[in-house]
Amino acid sequence: MANVASVTPEPRARVRAMMEYHPPLGCRDTLRLDFNENTLACSPKVGEVLGRISTGALTRYPERGPVEAMVAAQLGLKPEQVALTNGVDEAIHVLFETFLEEGDELLLPVPTYTMYEVYVSATDARAVPVLAADDLQFPYERLLAAITPRTKIIAIANPNSPSGSVATREQLLEITRRAPHAVVLVDEAYFHFHGETMMDLVGKIPNLIVSRTFSKAYGLAGLRVGLLAGPVELMQWTRRVLSPYSVNSVALACLPAALEDSTYLDWYVGEVLAARADFESVLDEAGVRRWPSQANFILTEIGAQHKEFTRLMSAAGVLVRDRSNDPGCDGRVRITIGTREQMRKAAIALKETMATLRAGKEAL
Protein backbone atom coordinates (compact mmCIF):
# COMPACT_ATOMS: atom_id res chain seq x y z
CA MET A 1 0.00 0.00 0.00
CA ALA A 2 3.07 2.25 0.01
CA ASN A 3 2.85 5.50 -1.96
CA VAL A 4 -0.67 4.86 -3.30
CA ALA A 5 -1.66 8.50 -2.82
CA SER A 6 1.24 9.79 -4.92
CA VAL A 7 0.44 7.71 -8.03
CA THR A 8 -1.78 9.43 -10.61
CA PRO A 9 -3.09 7.48 -13.61
CA GLU A 10 -1.56 8.82 -16.83
CA PRO A 11 -3.63 9.30 -19.98
CA ARG A 12 -2.32 8.06 -23.33
CA ALA A 13 0.64 10.06 -24.65
CA ARG A 14 -1.49 11.24 -27.57
CA VAL A 15 -4.07 12.64 -25.16
CA ARG A 16 -1.41 14.49 -23.18
CA ALA A 17 -0.29 16.11 -26.44
CA MET A 18 -3.82 16.63 -27.68
CA MET A 19 -4.91 20.01 -28.98
CA GLU A 20 -7.27 21.75 -26.56
CA TYR A 21 -10.36 23.53 -27.81
CA HIS A 22 -12.39 25.81 -25.55
CA PRO A 23 -15.09 27.55 -27.61
CA PRO A 24 -15.81 31.03 -26.23
CA LEU A 25 -19.31 30.26 -24.95
CA GLY A 26 -20.85 32.11 -22.01
CA CYS A 27 -22.67 35.44 -21.80
CA ARG A 28 -24.16 34.90 -25.25
CA ASP A 29 -27.59 36.35 -24.46
CA THR A 30 -27.30 38.91 -27.23
CA LEU A 31 -27.00 38.93 -31.04
CA ARG A 32 -24.96 35.75 -31.64
CA LEU A 33 -23.00 36.18 -34.84
CA ASP A 34 -20.09 34.12 -33.56
CA PHE A 35 -20.89 30.39 -34.00
CA ASN A 36 -22.71 30.22 -37.36
CA GLU A 37 -25.86 29.02 -35.62
CA ASN A 38 -29.39 29.78 -36.67
CA THR A 39 -29.72 33.15 -34.90
CA LEU A 40 -33.47 33.04 -34.38
CA ALA A 41 -35.26 29.77 -33.60
CA CYS A 42 -36.00 26.32 -34.95
CA SER A 43 -39.35 25.43 -36.54
CA PRO A 44 -42.35 26.14 -34.26
CA LYS A 45 -43.45 22.55 -35.04
CA VAL A 46 -40.45 21.37 -33.00
CA GLY A 47 -41.68 23.52 -30.11
CA GLU A 48 -45.05 21.71 -30.24
CA VAL A 49 -43.33 18.31 -30.05
CA LEU A 50 -41.22 19.44 -27.10
CA GLY A 51 -44.37 20.41 -25.24
CA ARG A 52 -45.82 16.92 -25.71
CA ILE A 53 -42.83 14.87 -24.50
CA SER A 54 -43.83 12.99 -21.35
CA THR A 55 -41.53 12.33 -18.43
CA GLY A 56 -42.31 8.64 -18.95
CA ALA A 57 -40.86 8.81 -22.44
CA LEU A 58 -37.55 9.90 -20.93
CA THR A 59 -37.26 6.65 -18.95
CA ARG A 60 -36.62 4.68 -22.16
CA TYR A 61 -33.35 4.32 -24.04
CA PRO A 62 -33.55 6.19 -27.33
CA GLU A 63 -34.31 4.15 -30.47
CA ARG A 64 -32.66 5.83 -33.42
CA GLY A 65 -33.64 3.29 -36.13
CA PRO A 66 -37.05 4.66 -37.18
CA VAL A 67 -35.82 8.26 -37.37
CA GLU A 68 -32.70 7.14 -39.23
CA ALA A 69 -34.95 5.43 -41.77
CA MET A 70 -37.01 8.61 -42.14
CA VAL A 71 -33.91 10.75 -42.67
CA ALA A 72 -32.51 8.21 -45.17
CA ALA A 73 -35.78 8.23 -47.13
CA GLN A 74 -35.70 12.03 -47.30
CA LEU A 75 -32.15 11.88 -48.65
CA GLY A 76 -33.08 9.15 -51.17
CA LEU A 77 -30.81 6.62 -49.39
CA LYS A 78 -31.14 3.22 -47.72
CA PRO A 79 -31.32 3.22 -43.88
CA GLU A 80 -28.05 1.22 -43.71
CA GLN A 81 -26.32 4.09 -45.52
CA VAL A 82 -27.19 6.69 -42.88
CA ALA A 83 -26.14 7.01 -39.23
CA LEU A 84 -27.45 9.76 -36.98
CA THR A 85 -24.82 11.16 -34.63
CA ASN A 86 -24.53 13.51 -31.67
CA GLY A 87 -23.84 16.44 -33.97
CA VAL A 88 -21.32 16.28 -36.83
CA ASP A 89 -18.65 16.56 -34.14
CA GLU A 90 -19.40 13.00 -33.06
CA ALA A 91 -19.56 11.95 -36.71
CA ILE A 92 -16.01 13.29 -37.27
CA HIS A 93 -14.78 11.66 -34.05
CA VAL A 94 -16.30 8.29 -34.93
CA LEU A 95 -15.01 8.39 -38.50
CA PHE A 96 -11.48 9.15 -37.35
CA GLU A 97 -11.59 6.44 -34.66
CA THR A 98 -12.85 3.97 -37.26
CA PHE A 99 -10.28 4.59 -39.99
CA LEU A 100 -7.14 6.29 -38.70
CA GLU A 101 -4.20 4.12 -37.63
CA GLU A 102 -0.58 4.83 -36.74
CA GLY A 103 1.24 6.16 -39.80
CA ASP A 104 -1.95 7.26 -41.55
CA GLU A 105 -2.43 10.81 -42.79
CA LEU A 106 -5.47 13.04 -42.59
CA LEU A 107 -5.40 15.54 -45.44
CA LEU A 108 -6.90 18.81 -44.38
CA PRO A 109 -7.30 21.95 -46.47
CA VAL A 110 -6.76 24.82 -44.00
CA PRO A 111 -8.03 27.09 -42.62
CA THR A 112 -11.01 24.92 -41.79
CA TYR A 113 -13.27 23.67 -39.00
CA THR A 114 -11.21 23.22 -35.81
CA MET A 115 -12.60 19.88 -34.64
CA TYR A 116 -10.93 17.90 -37.44
CA GLU A 117 -7.59 18.78 -35.95
CA VAL A 118 -8.74 18.21 -32.40
CA TYR A 119 -10.00 14.69 -33.12
CA VAL A 120 -7.06 13.64 -35.28
CA SER A 121 -4.75 14.70 -32.47
CA ALA A 122 -6.34 11.98 -30.29
CA THR A 123 -5.47 9.25 -32.83
CA ASP A 124 -2.10 7.81 -33.84
CA ALA A 125 -2.40 9.34 -37.30
CA ARG A 126 -1.14 12.77 -38.27
CA ALA A 127 -2.82 15.75 -39.87
CA VAL A 128 -1.31 17.03 -43.13
CA PRO A 129 -2.54 20.62 -43.52
CA VAL A 130 -2.84 22.00 -47.05
CA LEU A 131 -2.80 25.78 -46.79
CA ALA A 132 -5.09 27.83 -49.05
CA ALA A 133 -3.65 30.85 -50.86
CA ASP A 134 -4.55 34.39 -49.70
CA ASP A 135 -7.80 34.28 -51.70
CA LEU A 136 -8.78 31.38 -49.39
CA GLN A 137 -10.22 29.44 -52.31
CA PHE A 138 -10.27 25.65 -52.03
CA PRO A 139 -6.60 24.58 -52.56
CA TYR A 140 -7.50 21.95 -55.14
CA GLU A 141 -4.17 21.48 -56.94
CA ARG A 142 -2.19 21.55 -53.70
CA LEU A 143 -4.52 18.98 -52.18
CA LEU A 144 -4.13 16.60 -55.14
CA ALA A 145 -0.35 16.98 -54.91
CA ALA A 146 -0.45 16.13 -51.18
CA ILE A 147 -2.17 12.73 -51.64
CA THR A 148 0.18 9.86 -50.71
CA PRO A 149 -0.25 6.11 -50.19
CA ARG A 150 -0.60 6.97 -46.46
CA THR A 151 -3.54 9.34 -46.96
CA LYS A 152 -6.43 7.66 -45.17
CA ILE A 153 -9.02 10.41 -44.80
CA ILE A 154 -9.45 13.66 -46.69
CA ALA A 155 -11.80 15.98 -44.78
CA ILE A 156 -13.36 18.79 -46.79
CA ALA A 157 -15.93 21.17 -45.36
CA ASN A 158 -18.05 22.31 -48.28
CA PRO A 159 -18.80 25.20 -47.92
CA ASN A 160 -15.75 25.68 -45.77
CA SER A 161 -15.52 27.60 -42.50
CA PRO A 162 -14.24 30.23 -41.79
CA SER A 163 -13.68 31.16 -45.45
CA GLY A 164 -17.13 30.43 -46.93
CA SER A 165 -15.39 29.08 -50.06
CA VAL A 166 -16.49 25.97 -51.92
CA ALA A 167 -15.07 23.05 -53.84
CA THR A 168 -16.86 22.12 -57.05
CA ARG A 169 -18.52 18.76 -57.59
CA GLU A 170 -15.98 17.96 -60.34
CA GLN A 171 -13.07 18.72 -58.00
CA LEU A 172 -14.53 16.53 -55.25
CA LEU A 173 -15.17 13.71 -57.70
CA GLU A 174 -11.60 13.89 -58.98
CA ILE A 175 -10.30 13.73 -55.39
CA THR A 176 -12.30 10.54 -54.75
CA ARG A 177 -10.76 9.06 -57.92
CA ARG A 178 -7.19 10.13 -57.13
CA ALA A 179 -7.35 8.72 -53.57
CA PRO A 180 -9.32 5.46 -53.88
CA HIS A 181 -7.54 4.14 -50.77
CA ALA A 182 -8.82 7.05 -48.62
CA VAL A 183 -12.20 8.02 -47.22
CA VAL A 184 -13.22 11.38 -48.67
CA LEU A 185 -15.42 13.14 -46.11
CA VAL A 186 -17.45 15.99 -47.59
CA ASP A 187 -18.83 17.89 -44.61
CA GLU A 188 -21.98 19.66 -45.80
CA ALA A 189 -22.77 21.44 -42.51
CA TYR A 190 -23.67 24.60 -44.47
CA PHE A 191 -25.32 22.82 -47.40
CA HIS A 192 -28.64 24.68 -47.14
CA PHE A 193 -27.03 28.06 -47.80
CA HIS A 194 -25.12 26.73 -50.82
CA GLY A 195 -27.53 24.26 -52.37
CA GLU A 196 -24.94 22.00 -54.03
CA THR A 197 -24.41 18.52 -52.69
CA MET A 198 -22.65 15.20 -53.16
CA MET A 199 -25.42 13.33 -51.33
CA ASP A 200 -26.84 11.92 -54.57
CA LEU A 201 -23.50 10.15 -55.13
CA VAL A 202 -23.52 8.37 -51.76
CA GLY A 203 -23.39 4.60 -52.35
CA LYS A 204 -22.27 5.14 -55.94
CA ILE A 205 -18.72 6.18 -55.08
CA PRO A 206 -17.03 3.60 -52.82
CA ASN A 207 -14.92 6.06 -50.79
CA LEU A 208 -17.31 9.02 -50.42
CA ILE A 209 -18.90 9.88 -47.07
CA VAL A 210 -21.07 12.98 -46.63
CA SER A 211 -21.97 14.61 -43.30
CA ARG A 212 -24.79 17.03 -42.54
CA THR A 213 -25.86 18.82 -39.38
CA PHE A 214 -29.12 20.00 -37.90
CA SER A 215 -27.24 22.68 -35.95
CA LYS A 216 -27.16 25.37 -38.60
CA ALA A 217 -30.14 26.07 -40.91
CA TYR A 218 -32.51 23.87 -38.86
CA GLY A 219 -31.66 25.76 -35.67
CA LEU A 220 -31.15 22.68 -33.46
CA ALA A 221 -27.54 23.14 -32.28
CA GLY A 222 -28.65 22.55 -28.68
CA LEU A 223 -30.19 19.17 -29.50
CA ARG A 224 -26.93 17.90 -31.03
CA VAL A 225 -27.90 15.99 -34.16
CA GLY A 226 -25.85 15.32 -37.26
CA LEU A 227 -25.46 12.47 -39.69
CA LEU A 228 -23.01 10.46 -41.73
CA ALA A 229 -24.06 9.02 -45.07
CA GLY A 230 -21.90 6.60 -47.00
CA PRO A 231 -21.70 3.20 -48.67
CA VAL A 232 -22.80 0.29 -46.47
CA GLU A 233 -19.30 -1.23 -46.76
CA LEU A 234 -17.88 1.81 -44.87
CA MET A 235 -20.86 2.62 -42.67
CA GLN A 236 -20.90 -0.87 -41.10
CA TRP A 237 -17.53 -0.10 -39.48
CA THR A 238 -18.44 3.37 -38.26
CA ARG A 239 -21.56 1.87 -36.68
CA ARG A 240 -19.38 -0.45 -34.60
CA VAL A 241 -17.66 2.57 -33.07
CA LEU A 242 -20.77 4.75 -32.71
CA SER A 243 -22.56 4.57 -29.37
CA PRO A 244 -26.07 3.16 -29.92
CA TYR A 245 -27.56 5.84 -27.65
CA SER A 246 -25.59 8.97 -28.54
CA VAL A 247 -28.58 10.69 -30.12
CA ASN A 248 -30.98 11.28 -27.24
CA SER A 249 -34.71 10.65 -27.26
CA VAL A 250 -35.68 14.35 -27.14
CA ALA A 251 -33.64 14.97 -30.28
CA LEU A 252 -35.13 11.90 -31.97
CA ALA A 253 -38.67 13.02 -31.05
CA CYS A 254 -38.09 16.48 -32.51
CA LEU A 255 -36.28 15.57 -35.71
CA PRO A 256 -39.29 14.41 -37.75
CA ALA A 257 -41.08 17.73 -37.10
CA ALA A 258 -38.01 19.67 -38.19
CA LEU A 259 -37.60 17.55 -41.32
CA GLU A 260 -41.24 17.90 -42.31
CA ASP A 261 -41.39 21.67 -41.90
CA SER A 262 -39.64 22.59 -45.14
CA THR A 263 -41.62 25.84 -45.26
CA TYR A 264 -39.86 27.12 -42.18
CA LEU A 265 -36.45 25.90 -43.36
CA ASP A 266 -36.86 27.55 -46.75
CA TRP A 267 -38.01 30.78 -45.12
CA TYR A 268 -35.00 30.91 -42.80
CA VAL A 269 -32.50 30.13 -45.56
CA GLY A 270 -34.12 32.76 -47.84
CA GLU A 271 -33.90 35.30 -45.04
CA VAL A 272 -30.19 34.60 -44.49
CA LEU A 273 -29.35 34.77 -48.20
CA ALA A 274 -31.10 38.14 -48.51
CA ALA A 275 -29.38 39.41 -45.36
CA ARG A 276 -26.01 38.16 -46.64
CA ALA A 277 -26.36 40.19 -49.86
CA ASP A 278 -27.37 43.29 -47.85
CA PHE A 279 -24.48 42.86 -45.43
CA GLU A 280 -21.97 42.42 -48.24
CA SER A 281 -22.95 45.91 -49.42
CA VAL A 282 -22.56 47.24 -45.87
CA LEU A 283 -19.03 45.80 -45.67
CA ASP A 284 -18.12 47.16 -49.10
CA GLU A 285 -19.39 50.63 -48.18
CA ALA A 286 -17.42 50.52 -44.92
CA GLY A 287 -14.28 49.59 -46.89
CA VAL A 288 -13.91 46.23 -45.15
CA ARG A 289 -12.33 43.51 -47.28
CA ARG A 290 -14.41 40.31 -47.36
CA TRP A 291 -14.20 36.88 -48.92
CA PRO A 292 -17.08 35.61 -51.09
CA SER A 293 -19.20 33.21 -49.05
CA GLN A 294 -21.64 30.46 -49.93
CA ALA A 295 -22.57 29.95 -46.27
CA ASN A 296 -24.33 31.77 -43.41
CA PHE A 297 -21.25 33.80 -42.48
CA ILE A 298 -18.71 36.14 -44.02
CA LEU A 299 -14.99 36.30 -43.26
CA THR A 300 -13.72 39.88 -43.05
CA GLU A 301 -10.29 41.49 -42.95
CA ILE A 302 -10.05 43.77 -39.93
CA GLY A 303 -6.28 43.79 -39.62
CA ALA A 304 -4.16 44.61 -36.60
CA GLN A 305 -7.18 45.92 -34.66
CA HIS A 306 -9.06 42.60 -34.78
CA LYS A 307 -9.15 42.21 -30.99
CA GLU A 308 -10.45 45.72 -30.42
CA PHE A 309 -12.98 45.29 -33.23
CA THR A 310 -14.33 42.10 -31.65
CA ARG A 311 -14.47 43.78 -28.23
CA LEU A 312 -16.25 46.90 -29.50
CA MET A 313 -18.78 44.85 -31.46
CA SER A 314 -19.47 42.78 -28.36
CA ALA A 315 -19.92 45.97 -26.30
CA ALA A 316 -22.48 47.06 -28.92
CA GLY A 317 -24.37 43.79 -28.36
CA VAL A 318 -23.08 41.87 -31.40
CA LEU A 319 -20.86 38.83 -30.90
CA VAL A 320 -18.47 38.07 -33.77
CA ARG A 321 -15.63 35.55 -34.01
CA ASP A 322 -11.98 36.52 -34.23
CA ARG A 323 -10.35 33.82 -36.41
CA SER A 324 -6.84 35.28 -36.12
CA ASN A 325 -5.45 32.04 -34.69
CA ASP A 326 -6.53 30.01 -37.74
CA PRO A 327 -3.79 29.29 -40.30
CA GLY A 328 -3.47 32.20 -42.74
CA CYS A 329 -6.17 34.21 -40.94
CA ASP A 330 -4.31 36.80 -38.87
CA GLY A 331 -6.50 39.90 -38.51
CA ARG A 332 -9.59 38.16 -39.89
CA VAL A 333 -12.96 38.11 -38.18
CA ARG A 334 -15.91 35.90 -39.10
CA ILE A 335 -19.41 37.33 -38.91
CA THR A 336 -22.43 34.99 -38.94
CA ILE A 337 -25.39 36.13 -41.00
CA GLY A 338 -28.78 36.16 -39.28
CA THR A 339 -32.08 37.64 -40.37
CA ARG A 340 -32.31 40.96 -42.24
CA GLU A 341 -33.56 42.71 -39.11
CA GLN A 342 -30.69 41.34 -37.02
CA MET A 343 -28.16 42.29 -39.68
CA ARG A 344 -29.45 45.88 -39.74
CA LYS A 345 -28.50 46.04 -36.06
CA ALA A 346 -25.16 44.44 -36.87
CA ALA A 347 -24.59 46.98 -39.66
CA ILE A 348 -25.08 49.89 -37.24
CA ALA A 349 -22.65 48.31 -34.76
CA LEU A 350 -20.13 47.68 -37.54
CA LYS A 351 -20.23 51.25 -38.85
CA GLU A 352 -19.85 52.69 -35.34
CA THR A 353 -17.03 50.29 -34.53
CA MET A 354 -15.14 51.07 -37.72
CA ALA A 355 -15.59 54.82 -37.09
CA THR A 356 -14.24 54.43 -33.55
CA LEU A 357 -11.25 52.41 -34.74
CA ARG A 358 -10.45 54.90 -37.51
CA ALA A 359 -10.79 57.87 -35.15
CA GLY A 360 -8.43 56.12 -32.74
CA LYS A 361 -5.90 55.60 -35.54
CA GLU A 362 -6.09 59.23 -36.64
CA ALA A 363 -5.59 60.46 -33.08
CA LEU A 364 -2.28 58.56 -32.92
Ligand X SMILES: Cc1ncc(COP(=O)(O)O)c(C=O)c1O
Query: Of 210 and 312, which CB lies nearer to ligand X in the complex structure?
Result: 210
Provide, rounded to whole angstroms, the least separation between the CB of residue 91 and ligand X: 7
Instruction: Please return the burial class of 80, using the count of CB atoms within 10 Å of its CB with bins 0-12, 13-18 and 19+.
Output: middle
Applying CB under 6 A, the residues found at the interface with ligand X are 36, 87-89, 113, 157, 161, 187, 189, 213, 215, 221, 226
Shortest-Cβ-distance residue relative to ligand X: 87
* Distance from the first to the final alpha carbon of the chain: 67
In the complex with ligand X, the residue whose CB is nearer, 151 or 215, is: 215
Q: What sign does the dihedral 114-117-119-122 (CA atoms) show?
A: negative
Beta-strand runs (E) in 214-280: 226-229
Give the contacts of 157 (CB within 8 A, at least 6 positions apart).
112, 113, 187, 189, 190
Cβ proximity of 325 and 162 under 8 Å = no
By C-beta, is 81 or 336 nearer to ligand X?
Answer: 336
Q: Which is nearer to ligand X, 62 or 162 (CB)?
A: 162
How near is the Cβ of 361 to ligand X at its closest, in Å? 33
Provide the minimum distance between the beta carbon of 284 and ligand X in the complex, in angstroms, as a whole number: 25
Residue 86 beta carbon to ligand X: minimum distance, rounded to whole angstroms: 8
How many Cβ atoms sit within 10 Å of the Cβ of residue 318? 26
Contacts of 158 (CB under 8 A, 6+ apart): 138, 166, 167, 172, 186, 187, 188, 194, 198
Least separation, in Å, of the C-beta of 56 and ligand X? Answer: 29
Length of the chain: 364
Task: Please identify, using beta-carbon distances, which residue of 166 and 347 lies nearer to ligand X.
Answer: 166
We find the least distance from the C-beta atom of residue 356 to ligand X, in angstroms, to be 29
| Amino acid type, 173 | L
